[in-house]
Structure 1
């Protein structure tokens, strides 16, 4: 990795429902990959653990409090201008109702339809893990 490259630590929450669907948000206001779908989550601040970041990001983005979750295998993805280490967490239980709280929409997508959607490239490996 060059000095000019960025390396981001990112957490995402994999949230399912009783219908076998997964919660995704739409990137409406992003300069790249606009209108792609992604799992809710975001950047880990230097002062927090991945778990703390997950709880904070889910509260900020979709107004839920993650109560029980476990880490899945981390993934490193290289975009054109930055590298991202993605830390997915499978959220088992949470309180509250998911509501888009930032400038994004949220939708529930079935496993069957996941492969048909425009998914943020870094999240595609997570999708394949869910489908296997």
Structure 2
């Protein structure tokens, strides 16, 4: 099983960041809460700080465990661990994504998310 972390990044307006996977990446064209694979002996919080610095050029502060979900993508089994996080600093520069939006929770249902993220979308939309 591959452990993956996802950041539910909130801004000062109560909006959540979502990002679309660019062409050529796994889950291309689908929306997700940004994050990435945990390295050996890395916590989900450490992973999120590292991944968002690498993939979006931003510093975040994960502050609250949100939920987790196990999902099979064909032969690949992942455990997606989500944390709420605050944007601390940086100007967004996309690497693995081709678009991002800040949306209010009720707008999440308007986007097509990667299957592993759907459980989080439903919980946030409640």
What TM bracket, shorter-length normalisation? 0.7 to 0.9
Q: CA RMSD in A?
A: 1.8
In the alignment, structure 1 segments of 5+ residues that lack a partner are: 1-6
> What's the offset of the Cα at 1:98?
5.0
How many angstroms apart in 1 are the aligned matches of 2:79 and 2:104?
25
Higher strand share: 2
Matched, 1:77 2:71: yes
After TM superposition, the structure 1 = structure 2 runs for residues 86-97 of structure 1, keeping only pairs within 5 Å, are 86-91=80-85, 93-97=86-90
In the alignment, structure 2 segments of 5+ residues that lack a partner are: none
How many angstroms apart in 2 are the aligned matches of 1:94 and 1:73?
19
SS of aligned partner of 1:14: strand
TM-score (norm 1): 0.83
Aligned length: 125
TM-score (norm 2): 0.86
Contact kept? 1:99, 1:106, Cα under 8 Å: no
Contact kept? 2:48, 2:62, Cα under 8 Å: no
